[in-house]
Structure 1
Amino acid sequence: MDCGPKKFYHKHDFHTRDYIETYCSDKPDMVFTEDTLKFPMMNFHYVFSSGFVKGDVLIDLSIGSIIHHLYSACDVFKYLIILKHNEQCNMETSKWANTRTGAYDWKHASAHAAKLEGKSAQAQDKDEQLKTAISHIISCDFENENITYPVVLPLADCVTSIGILDCISKDEDDYMRNLEKMSKLLRPGGHLILIGVLDTSYVMVGGEKVHLLTFDESFVKNALSKLGFVIDYCAVQRRRNDSKLCDYKAVMFITACKTK
């Protein structure tokens, strides 16, 4: 295990396939299932099936090339736009969306999504439904005021994000700036859904230590409030595994409405 200087997700190479295999796969030795697969999918299913988060356009900005949290979204939104900060992650996501040779197999996630909906026999349908709903996969860069420059996207009804703010923000002020840029993708009255890990500092990916910003639940809630968001729903799950691959203490899921 590399104990050297931490790398930044958006500035250095990111081994997205290794990230998936380590933190999101169905391998017998994958100890993060409860935190990285079931907890996000359960909460996304809850907020989307409850009906208070809805619309036509959803924009997702998430770490690596993960897509498992979006299976519930395609039941609600007509158009899913996926933004990736890393070219390798962009290519890996496109490979899956277009059913190309060598694409990662997310059948364990689609099966779990179907199970959450009480339709276990329709796992393959969930996979195709999600692929059909994805309208664009676009590169983004938080160094720009418009993070999708030169592309100008329609304002979304919902923006979802797993882990991006954690890994691209070097400090709390940087987190606030990045959160504000993310919020500009969202229409007034729309919802922002964030998943992050609490009280952490790193995650190991491909034998390399990747930076994660250390923050707690109150920091995120205060940040959202300062930007005019009202929190609708929040769930925190204490860590369910014992591993030195990441030093987080809990996972947080939060849904907030943009009021202005």
Structure 2
Amino acid sequence: MDTSSFKRYDTHVMDSKCFYNTYFSASTDKDLLYELVDFPIKVLYDCVKLGLIKGHRMIDLSAGTNLFQILPMYECFSDITILEINDGCIADMEKWVNGEEDAYDWAHAVKVLEELRGCSINWKEMENDLRSRVKRILKCDLNKENPTDPLF
């Protein structure tokens, strides 16, 4: 049997607001939030501290309009590309990059980073710095051999 018939990508319909509220918002169950947001931030931060993450360009592909995984390492990259699989997620990510009021709030994830660094971070300045490094938000097609073709 062809295993590709079991693939399911939310390329057309995804309620990113429900996804964010259920798994990644500050109101998410604390244990789940630790597993899905806090712990990955801590691991990535440790990798940055050890010099294991560095470069010029970062390409991010994650489920939904998530930013927490970029936070601990964004300063290592001057050119960030965010790949999304549907138009709704692209629109939501553009809201955040443009600083719109109804964009998803990632302040709770920034607080995790503050604790790791042992200092208070001006999270608005950090968000603005991250926004300035996001050079493109692109749609990718996970059904293609090269999902970013013809862009990369």
Q: Which runs of 4+ in 1 moved over 6 A?
A: none
- 1:121/1:56 Cα in 2 relative to 1: closer, same or farther (>3 Å)? closer
* 8 Å Cα contact 2:84-2:138 kept in structure 1: yes
Return the index of the structure with the highest Cα Rg: 1
* Matched-pair identity in %: 29
Gaps in structure 1 of 5+ consecutive residues = 1-6, 154-260
- Quote how far apart the aligned CAs of 1:111 are: 2.1
Structure 2 length-normalised TM: 0.86
Q: Indicate the residue corresponding to 1:78 in structure 2.
A: 78
* 8 Å Cα contact 1:114-1:126 kept in structure 2: no
In the alignment, the residues of structure 1 paired with residue 28 and residue 11 of structure 2 have an alpha-carbon distance, to the nearest angstrom, of 32
Structure 1 counterpart of 2:109, one-letter code:
A
Q: Indicate the residue corresponding to 1:95 in structure 2.
A: 95
- 1:46/1:148 Cα in 2 relative to 1: closer, same or farther (>3 Å)? same
- Quote how far apart the aligned CAs of 1:46 are: 0.9
Q: Indicate the residue corresponding to 2:131 in structure 1.
A: 131
- Quote how far apart the aligned CAs of 1:27 are: 1.1
RCO (CA 8 Å, sep 6+): is it higher in 1 or 2?
Answer: 2
* 8 Å Cα contact 1:79-1:135 kept in structure 2: yes
In the alignment, the residues of structure 2 paired with residue 144 and residue 8 of structure 1 have an alpha-carbon distance, to the nearest angstrom, of 13
In the alignment, the residues of structure 1 paired with residue 14 and residue 49 of structure 2 have an alpha-carbon distance, to the nearest angstrom, of 33
* 8 Å Cα contact 1:113-1:123 kept in structure 2: no
Instruction: Give the number of equivalent residue pairs.
Output: 147
In the alignment, the residues of structure 1 paired with residue 46 and residue 74 of structure 2 have an alpha-carbon distance, to the nearest angstrom, of 14
Matches within 5 A, 1:3-22: 8-22=8-22
In the alignment, the residues of structure 2 paired with residue 83 and residue 70 of structure 1 have an alpha-carbon distance, to the nearest angstrom, of 13
Q: Indicate the residue corresponding to 2:3 in structure 1.
A: none
- Quote how far apart the aligned CAs of 1:29 are: 4.2
> Matched residue of 2:150: which SS?
coil
Q: Which has the higher helix share?
A: 2
In the alignment, the residues of structure 2 paired with residue 74 and residue 100 of structure 1 have an alpha-carbon distance, to the nearest angstrom, of 20
Q: Indicate the residue corresponding to 2:105 in structure 1.
A: 105
Q: CA RMSD in A?
A: 2.0
Q: Indicate the residue corresponding to 1:251 in structure 2.
A: none
Q: Indicate the residue corresponding to 1:173 in structure 2.
A: none
* 8 Å Cα contact 2:21-2:28 kept in structure 1: no
In the alignment, the residues of structure 2 paired with residue 23 and residue 141 of structure 1 have an alpha-carbon distance, to the nearest angstrom, of 24
- Quote how far apart the aligned CAs of 1:112 are: 1.8
* 8 Å Cα contact 1:110-1:127 kept in structure 2: no
In the alignment, the residues of structure 1 paired with residue 78 and residue 149 of structure 2 have an alpha-carbon distance, to the nearest angstrom, of 23
Gaps in structure 2 of 5+ consecutive residues = 1-6
Q: Deviations over 1:68-121 (max 9, x none)?
A: 111122221111111011211111111101112311111111222222222224
- 1:105/1:114 Cα in 2 relative to 1: closer, same or farther (>3 Å)? same
* 8 Å Cα contact 1:113-1:126 kept in structure 2: no
